[in-house]
Structure 1
Amino acid sequence: MDTVYQKTTLRRTMRRRREKLDRRDTRSRMILERITGLSEYQAATVIHTYLTMGSEVDTSPLLADALERGKRVVVPIVQAHTNNMTHSWLTSLNLEEREVGLLGTPQPRVLMNAPDGVWNLVFVPLLAFDRWGYRLGYGKGFYDQFLRRFPCTAVGLAFAMQEVPTVPHEAHDVRLDWVVTEEETIVTRSAHDAMVRRS
């Protein structure tokens, strides 16, 4: 079966399943508790994370925790015509200081350009993931391009029900290093293999 068709079909299925999931707020807070226990998060001075859209894992608790700890926060700004993202500092949790950007993604109302690659840790949204580190995104390729341009520890944020045995993938798909769910913190096979090669 064609990989593009497989991805499209799985995308529809997983979006519906995620939208029906109960207690997403509670589950998102449980995910935050796992993130704050990571030494890599504790050590990071700048994090890059998405602003939540729809039924995604809510990053509001993460944003609040990061700013409270004195970390700097960078958020992506979608450039629809190029399939690239630029980046803005986020300094406030006030929802009135945000607006809907291209493709419906939230962004700060006033953009403050952040230098490329300044972050230590990237948190990535997804529709599905597997234990090899492959993720199913929304089909535009923004994060694959972004992670290729700026290699960094990439952490997928997901609910446990978003795990699948195998995500259909292609050669250009970039794998995650970790996935954090409300049930566990997963070091993906991709990250594990890299650690083995370095040892």
Structure 2
Amino acid sequence: MINKMEKQQLRKEILLKWKNSSKRMEIQHSIYKRLFHLNIWENANIIGLTHSKDTEWDTTRLIEKAWDQKKTITIPKSNSDTNTMKFYQYAPGDRLEITRKNIKEPIESSNKFVEKDRHDLIIVPGVAFSKDGYRIGYGGGYYDRYLADYLGPTLSLAADFQMQPFLTKESHDIPVQFIVTNFGTIYCQHT
């Protein structure tokens, strides 16, 4: 079983590779090209995803592409007291607030809450991934809690250097169903 220190070390190593990757834009372009041709993307009307920070794939392009295709985008608002989150609609021109962790989130009073089961797709962020869909995120467990009773499709975006041969899973970990990489799409088999 991987302990907390090992997770932190792996996170640190992958994020360093991320920072030092000279091909990040090329990899991102390849991942997005694959994503936009997947039926799961094409058929989705309501898509939940984070507004990216600098250590994540730039979701601005995904958001704009979705808007161009008349899709609805939702982004999460986290509650650090309960370590939970809710998704709110995010439309062109909507303002966001910057949290203590430098994450752009919707303003609850200005954005429309969207129920979990209304989502056709949720794109789950992460740092490291295994082929069976398990991931190491940023350490808060927000997505694992949110996805525990979500029945719709989930996917993550990953470069080859983010893929790991194996990640130890814990009882609360929720795997994604698909991982779109610069080399192809992985249809995850959960064990």
TM over 0.5: yes
Aligned 1:91-106 pairs, distance under 5 A: 91-92=91-92, 97-106=95-104
Pair 182,104 (structure 1): closer, same or farther in 2 beyond 3 Å: same
| Corresponding position of 1:134 | 134
Runs of 5+ consecutive residues of structure 2 not aligned to the other structure? none
**SS at the partner of 1:7?**
helix
Q: Which amino acid aligns with 1:185?
A: T
| RMSD between superposed Cα atoms in Å | 1.8
Aligned 1:5-84 pairs, distance under 5 A: 5-84=5-84
| Corresponding position of 1:165 | 165
Checking the alignment, whether the CA contact within 8 Å between 2:35 and 2:180 is kept in structure 1 is yes
**SS at the partner of 1:57?**
coil
Higher helix fraction (1 or 2): 1
For residues 20 and 85 of structure 1, the distance between their equivalents in structure 2, rounded to whole angstroms, comes to 31
Aligned 1:116-195 pairs, distance under 5 A: 116-190=116-190
Q: Which amino acid aligns with 1:57?
A: W
Q: Which amino acid aligns with 2:114?
A: A
Checking the alignment, whether the CA contact within 8 Å between 1:87 and 1:113 is kept in structure 2 is yes
Runs of 5+ consecutive residues of structure 1 not aligned to the other structure? 194-199
| Corresponding position of 1:197 | none
Pair 187,136 (structure 1): closer, same or farther in 2 beyond 3 Å: same
Structure 1 runs, 4 residues or longer, greater than 6 Å off = none
Q: Which amino acid aligns with 1:68?
A: D
TM-score normalised by structure 2 residue count: 0.90
Checking the alignment, whether the CA contact within 8 Å between 2:126 and 2:138 is kept in structure 1 is yes
Q: Which amino acid aligns with 1:17?
A: K
| Corresponding position of 2:90 | 90
**Number of residue-to-residue matches in the alignment:** 189
Cα displacement (A) at 1:32 = 1.4
